[in-house]
Amino acid sequence: MKKILLVYNPVSGHAAFKNRLDAVIENFQRRGIFLSVYRTQAEDNSAFVECVKIFQPEGIIAAGGDGTLHAVINWLKKNSLDLPVGILGSGTSNDFAAHLNLTDEKIFDAVANDSTRPVDLGCVNGKEFFVNVASAGVFTSIAHEVDSRLKNFLGKSAYYLRVPGELKNFKSVPLEIFADGKNFSVDAFLFLVLNSPSVASFKKISDTAKIDDGKLDLLALKKCSAAALINLTKKILAGEAIQSDENIFSVQAKTFEIKSCVALTSDLDGEAGDLLPLKIETLRHAVNFFA
């Protein structure tokens, strides 16, 4: 019988995954898969590594949002644990699972059939990893300030409820960007370094970002007028890729170095990261995902 470790976040989304837990266990058992369950903690998750060592699973399933997946990936990479990863999306934001077009049934069958695909990761400052997006700027700070209870209750709209009140505070910052050694200077409201094109519940911010091409895509929203911001928002809401918009700076590379004279805290898959400067490296095919 195949052994899989299920890692679930008890507060992701509407904290409702526990109501699905029995059905998830039943679906895996019906396919000849035995689950052991690890419940994430708010602070110390050192027990995760011990669970892996004792249980010796053949794969990990992350049940939660992008933040839960981010945590699992970092626990694995930082402890040199090479295991395939699956996702049961149950968080406020499930952008990476949405990009892979994963349903519960697909994950159950993929694990049973050992169906995996290699996926790139981004590595920040040689110590932190992201699977979907690294960013910094205006909207990043808003997301970090949203109360977790409000986020769980309202979902993604909790972020956007903060935006109207923050418009008057939108300020661009000077960015110095080195992309595979080439130097660019941009005055921007924010930047995104994408592995997948799915960000903030929008499925196609970029039409060149791919999760297995060995490169990352940087998009920076340049300083522009309110009218230009509205037009750009319309494009995003219409599902259009935006890297060709005149107000977007776009470059694809294997490595980035991003600096600013303004103090900016980065965001990695929805979790607070390091202050700039950032050195970002693409790790090609660093993780196998059940898909």
SS3 annotation, 149-197:
HHHHHHCCHHHHHHHHHHHHHCCCEEEEEEECCEEEEEEEEEEEEECCC
Whether the per-residue pLDDT at 33 is higher than 60: the answer is: yes
Domain spans of the chain?
A: 2-114, 128-283
Read off the pLDDT of residues 80-120 as tens digits, 9 standing for 90 and up.
999 999 999 887 678 898 899 888 999 999 999 999 999 99
**The pLDDT value given to residue 169:** 59
Count other Cβ atoms within 10 Å, centred on residue 263: 8
Is the CB of residue 86 less than 8 Å from the CB of residue 290? yes
Cα angle for residues 235, 241, 242 (degrees, 5° grid): 70
Q: How far apart are CA 174 and CA 123, in angstroms?
A: 23
Say what the pLDDT of residue 162 is. 45
Secondary structure class of 18 (helix, strand, coil): helix
Which pLDDT score, from 0 to 100, does residue 151 have? 47
pLDDT over 80 at 158, yes or no: no
Q: Is the pLDDT of residue 161 over 60?
A: no
The residues annotated as belonging to the active site are 271
Q: How far apart are CA 58 and CA 7, in angstroms?
A: 13
Q: What is the mean pLDDT of residues 167-192?
A: 90
- The DSSP bridge pattern shows strands 255-259 and 173-179 to be antiparallel
Contact assessment for residue 266 and residue 134, using Cβ atoms and an 8 Å cutoff: yes
Res 159: pLDDT: 45
Percent of the chain with pLDDT over 70: 88
Reported pTM: 0.88
Provide the pLDDT for residue 242.
92
For residues 46-63, average pLDDT: 95
Alpha-carbon gap, residue 155 to 141, rounded angstroms: 17
Whether CATH 2.60.200.40 fits 128-283: yes
Is residue 167 scored above 90 in pLDDT? Answer: no
CATH fit for domain 2-114, picks 3.40.50.300, 3.40.50.410, 3.30.420.10, 3.40.50.10330:
3.40.50.10330
Query: Does position 191 have pLDDT exceeding 50, yes or no?
Result: yes
For residues 138 and 162, give the distance between their C-alpha atoms in angstroms, rounded to a whole number.
Answer: 11
Work out the average pLDDT over 162-178: 72
